[in-house]
Amino acid sequence: MKAATPLVILDRVRAGYEGRAVLDGVSFRLDQGEFCYLVGPTGSGKSTLLKLLYMELLPISGLVQVGAFRSDTIRPRQIPYLRRRLGVIFQDFQLLPDRSVFDNVAFVFYVTGRSGRDVRTRVLHLLTMVGLSHKRYRMPHELSGGEQQRVAIARALALDPELLLADEPTGNLDPHVSEDIMRILWNINRQGTAVLMATHDYAMVRRFPARTVALVDGRLVEVNPGVL
């Protein structure tokens, strides 16, 4: 059997803010194409761990490695290139309210220096994937919460990331819309993109079971999703 290739490695990571450690001695590995939940109560450090992965925050000690990017050697100017290999979605969608659905997705291509006719084709493909190509000229405020999150997912997938980080993506959505979003994330994972999803929606974890890690008192432990 072929050994899985690690995509993310956290090795004895200590991290926090202004000298106060939120995570202490966290070790974690996520392989390519894997789906993993990150659970824990509010304030347990889930978002902090995700910040370490898109290197908004660097560890106080220990190592964070995402693909070829290592926290101990990365330079500030290399961080944008790391982020191009990741897709990130948040609870509050973070769409640009002054431009259409199409432009919110196409924007990713423009700001990473891509242009041309294939941008249009690619944006339409992404919007079709999340079921929103027919609403491409709508503005974000004209969409429901679930639709806005789908636009955010399309945007996150624009550059074919190896890893999708989802920080409480269903936190603002009602249960049946949350299920739609979960199915989309599930499909994305089936196509080969690794997904790390921070959530405290244990019902959703039980409904779509996958590997689950929990943050308890600043440490990461593997848990059985069935017992949550």
Partner 1 sequence: MVIGYLLRESVSGFRRAPLAVWATLTTMSLALLLVGLVVLIAYDARQVVEGLKEKVELEVFLLDPPARPIEAWLAELRSDPAIESVAYISKDSAAAIFRREFGTEAELFVAYDFLPASFRIHLRPAWRNPDSAAAVARRLQAMEGVDEVVYNQALLLRLEENVRLVSWMGAGVGFVVLLAAIVLVVNTIRLTVYAKRLLIRTMKLVGATEWFIRLPFVLEGFLLGMLGGALAGGMLFVLRELVLASYLPAFQVLRWPGEHPLMLWGALVLFGALVGMLSASFSAKRFIRRTPLS
Question: Which residues contact partner 1 by CB under 8 A?
Answer: 47, 51, 54, 56, 76-77, 80-84, 88, 90, 94-98, 107-108, 110-116, 119, 155, 158-159, 167
Q: State in angstroms the smallest separation of the CB of 96 from partner 1.
A: 6
- Is the CB of 2 or the CB of 75 nearer to partner 1? 75
Q: State in angstroms the smallest separation of the CB of 166 from partner 1.
A: 12
Residue 189 · residue 33 · CB < 8 Å = yes
* Alpha-carbon distances of 84 from 66, 87, 157, 161, 205, rounded to whole Å: 12, 7, 10, 7, 28
**Hey, CA dihedral for 80, 85, 91, 97, is it positive or negative?**
positive
- Is the CB of 126 or the CB of 225 nearer to partner 1? 126
- Is the CB of 42 or the CB of 115 nearer to partner 1? 115
- Is the CB of 157 or the CB of 225 nearer to partner 1? 157
Q: State in angstroms the smallest separation of the CB of 13 from partner 1.
A: 18
Residue 215 · residue 49 · CB < 8 Å = yes
Q: State in angstroms the smallest separation of the CB of 208 from partner 1.
A: 23
Report the C-alpha gap between 221 and 38 in whole angstroms. Answer: 10
* Alpha-carbon distances of 195 from 36, 50, 58, 97, 187, rounded to whole Å: 6, 12, 21, 26, 11
- Is the CB of 80 or the CB of 175 nearer to partner 1? 80
Q: State in angstroms the smallest separation of the CB of 95 from partner 1.
A: 8
